[in-house]
Chains A and B, each alone.
Chain A
């Protein structure tokens, strides 16, 4: 009797295992599809797809459903997807969207994943400081940095006998004035007056007030400690000294770049993406271009500092994702040093991995050094308050428009500053 019951027991166990085993095997081998969106321009899609193929080769059971969206519609598509519950698993995401989507509750906390990841140690510390902006939780992993610097026409400076790139505000104004000649259709500075203008005027204000965006009590400190004077100085470049190109108030970075490369403006501010473009415009090779233009640190303000603002793109995983584990593998793959390097070399973005900066191609490009230098300087760098849920709406709305009013002299610099301060303070409530 006991023998039979033991046999039955053993047989039952065997049956149970036989039933489970295929399920276990299947669960490991079951193909999982993860959806990845990005908004890169069409010529980068090829690179992206290569890198994705590399991932699929390494992880045969994970298929990637890739979609490329026009950048101008990307955010709107995300909003629509969030509302209709059709968000992807992960996306190459813009930092200024962080506050909104985190407030909507759509983002997954990546902290637990990142802690277990040895590769994380190779990332710049700024990755985590920016990534944790929202409620000190890692909702976002920046993978590329865009730092702004000054682009200047080295040949015009030489011709006019002005020494090298300007290093202070005073030198900047002086050079701009000397290089402005409306009769020859030449102006000292191409100001960014349209989309994204807040990046540079906030930078100017922070240079003047010692990098105080928020006071210790959380209220807005941007206008205090001399911040307002910084704004005034910057606005007066156009309104008083008239060294700005006439289209400045409608200029986005595209027009700034074009005005510089077409020989209308002596200087402009932009991030390292412009480097490749200007090299091409001024001769096609680094050697030829060096004769014509250079990059330099943003001129120092009255407190003796420059401030470079961190603008980033990176990865998020959406809470709606059905396969966070596999998606995390994909994110890690994107952030790995080899792929990070590939992206940087092609896009011109500053990579997130420390090791990539030591590679020959980076060290060998003289234009890029200044960007890295600014990124590394903690006292000289600033992170935009992307954790504010209304930040994206602010920069597209009042922050842009009030500055334009100031540029058009529809209101004084003081009124502009007050309006900007009020808009941000109201959004903080």
Chain B
């Protein structure tokens, strides 16, 4: 039963993973084809001693936790709402998925336009409502650039959690609620002791994968701010992209990829530990 899945994975993953691993120990810059050579840990040392690396590491942490926390909480709230009966529920549910249904670069273009101080609609609304005295250059100000992109990411990711959690809520058998109610449990207790434990495996899957995806995501940041101004919104993923794609330094790119891989494996292990205690994982 597992064979097809494993087949795909093994074909498509061993080689790229292995290649990245081995390249990380080499000096491999495309524009210097004559200079390929084995350099041992040199790339890793460069990374560890580069202050920019530590900066973008911190910003990556902000990027992931900021986006994830709000997406999850808002998504959960929305899922609980969508689980209720109300008129035109079907239509409402379909519309609410829209942010997730749009391509990432398009979202970035849309929001960049909306954030523009001169011709953007957000500033227009803020000014008309009297909430600000002068127009805010969200993406041009280093202190608001990253939060602004995070906000867009939250907008985009909330439907993801909403739909998954909604589906998860649906699969809790009604009998469990009835039994709990008969035992005298109120709505909040039912939520804590029936709902949450049943949906834990789905939460685990959604949270873990979304964490990995957000960590590796570059499209929103690139199109909206290109990691700027001056690296104010640079994350580890965009930093890697610039090393590999712009500087064509694949040795460094691979080393950074291995570092990101290690970080994500650690996070996965932590998630696994945390969830194992509260539910049947494996």
Contacts and interface: CB of A to CB of B under 8 A. Distances in A.
Contact of B118 (A76, A82, A105, A264): A264
A182 interface: yes
Contacts of A99: 31
Interface in A362-400: 389-390, 392-393, 396-397, 400
Contacts of A193: 140, 229
B242 A247 contact: no
Contacts of A72: 105, 223
B16 interface: no
B58 interface: no
B228 A185 contact: no
A423 to B, nearest CB: 12
A248 interface: yes
From B30, B105, B231, residue with most partner A Cβ within 10 Å:
B30
Interface stretch (B71-79, B90-98, B188-196, B244-252): B244-252
A250 B225 contact: yes
Contacts of B17: none
Given A83-B30, A247-B116, A392-B246, A408 B135 contact: no
A258 interface: yes
B118 A258 contact: yes
B32 interface: yes
Contacts of B117: 245-247
B118 A393 contact: no
B229 A404 contact: yes
B181 interface: no
Interface in B83-111: 105
A23 interface: no
Nearest to B223: A72
A262 B231 CA distance: 29
A404 B246 contact: no
Contacts of A247: 116-118, 137, 139-140
From A76, A245, A247, A393, residue with most partner B Cβ within 10 Å:
A247
Interface residues of A, number: 41
A155 interface: no
Interface in A245-262: 245-251, 255, 258-259, 262
B228 A404 contact: yes
A100 interface: yes
A408 B139 contact: no
Interface in B206-263: 223, 225-226, 228-231, 242, 245-248
A237 interface: no
Interface in A85-99: 99
Contacts of B119: 258-259, 262, 264
A103 interface: yes
Nearest to A246: B137
B128 interface: no
Nearest to B142: A408
Q: Is the interface of A mostly helix, strand, loop or mixed?
A: helix
Contact of A393 (B105, B116, B140, B248): B248
Nearest to A245: B118
A250 B228 contact: yes
Interface string B123-152: 000000000001101011010010000000
B33 interface: yes
Contact of B31 (A75, A103, A407): A103
A181 to B, nearest CB: 13
Nearest to A401: B230
A27 B245 CA distance: 41
A72 B241 CA distance: 14
Contacts of A410: 230
A193 B225 CA distance: 12
A248 B230 contact: no
A405 interface: yes
B60 to A, nearest CB: 18
Contacts of A83: 30
A104 B31 contact: yes
Nearest to A195: B226
A125 to B, nearest CB: 29
A79 interface: yes
Contacts of A82: 30
Contacts of A105: 33
Given A247-B116, A262-B119, A79 B140 contact: no
A264 B119 CA distance: 9
B229 A389 contact: no
Nearest to B225: A250
Interface string A255-282: 1001100101000000000000000000
Given A245-B118, A407-B229, 19 more contacts: A79-B30, A100-B30, A100-B248, A103-B32, A104-B30, A194-B226, A245-B117, A246-B137, A248-B140, A249-B229, A250-B228, A251-B140, A258-B119, A389-B32, A397-B247, A400-B228, A401-B228, A401-B231, A404-B229
Interface of A: 72, 75-76, 79, 82-83, 99-100, 103-105, 182, 185, 193-195, 245-251, 255, 258-259, 262, 264, 389-390, 392-393, 396-397, 400-401, 404-405, 407-408, 410
Interface of B: 30-33, 105, 116-119, 134-135, 137, 139-140, 142, 145, 223, 225-226, 228-231, 242, 245-248
30 contacts: A76-B245, A79-B245, A82-B30, A100-B248, A104-B30, A193-B229, A194-B226, A194-B229, A245-B117, A246-B137, A247-B116, A247-B139, A247-B140, A249-B137, A249-B140, A249-B228, A250-B137, A250-B140, A250-B228, A255-B116, A255-B118, A258-B119, A262-B119, A264-B118, A389-B31, A397-B247, A401-B231, A404-B228, A404-B229, A405-B230
